[in-house]
Amino acid sequence: MARAFHWLIPHPFLTLILAVVWTLLQNEISAGMVVFGIILGIIIPWATSVWWPDTPKAFKLRKMILYSFMVMWDILVANVQVAWIVLTVPNNKLKPAWIVIPLELRQPEAITVLAGTITLTPGTVSADLSDEGHSLLVHVLHTDDPDAVRDEIKTRYEAYLKEIFS
Amino acid sequence: MTAEIVGTYATSLFLLIGSGFALVGAIGLLKFNDSMSRMHAPTKVGTAGIGMLLLASIVHSSLLGETSIHELLIMAFLFVTAPISANFIAKVNIHQKACETPPDPPRDETWSTLNVPDSDPDPDPANQ
Mean pLDDT score, A127-134: 81
Closest-CA residue of chain B to A100: B105
Please tell me the distance from the alpha carbon of residue A157 to that of residue A66, in angstroms, as a whole number: 12
Both A89 and A108 in one domain: the answer is: yes
Both A25 and A65 in one domain: the answer is: no
CB-based contact B48 A141, cutoff 8 Å: no
Contact A135, B49 (CB under 8 A): no
- Cα dihedral sign, A65-B43-B71-A74: positive
Nearest-neighbour CA in chain B from A39: distance (Å): 20
What pLDDT score does B120 carry? 61
Nearest-neighbour CA in chain B from A147: distance (Å): 14
- Counting other chains too, the contacts that A60-65 makes at CB distance below 8 Å and 24 or more residues apart are A60/A163, A60/A164, A61/A13, A63/A160, A63/A163, A63/A164, A64/A164
Residue A148 Cα to chain centre, angstroms: 22
Whole-complex ipTM? 0.75
Please tell me the distance from the alpha carbon of residue A64 to that of residue A73, in angstroms, as a whole number: 14
Say if A148 falls within a structural domain. Answer: yes
The domain in which residue A116 lies consists of 61-164
Both A44 and A65 in one domain: the answer is: no
Both A155 and A120 in one domain: the answer is: yes
pLDDT of residue B30 exceeding 70, the answer is yes
* pTM, full prediction: 0.80
Which DSSP category does B121 fall into?
Answer: P
Measure Cα distances from A6 to A2, A12, A13, A68 in Å.
6, 8, 12, 27
What pLDDT score does B14 carry? 92
What pLDDT score does B19 carry? 92
Mean pLDDT score, B15-34: 87
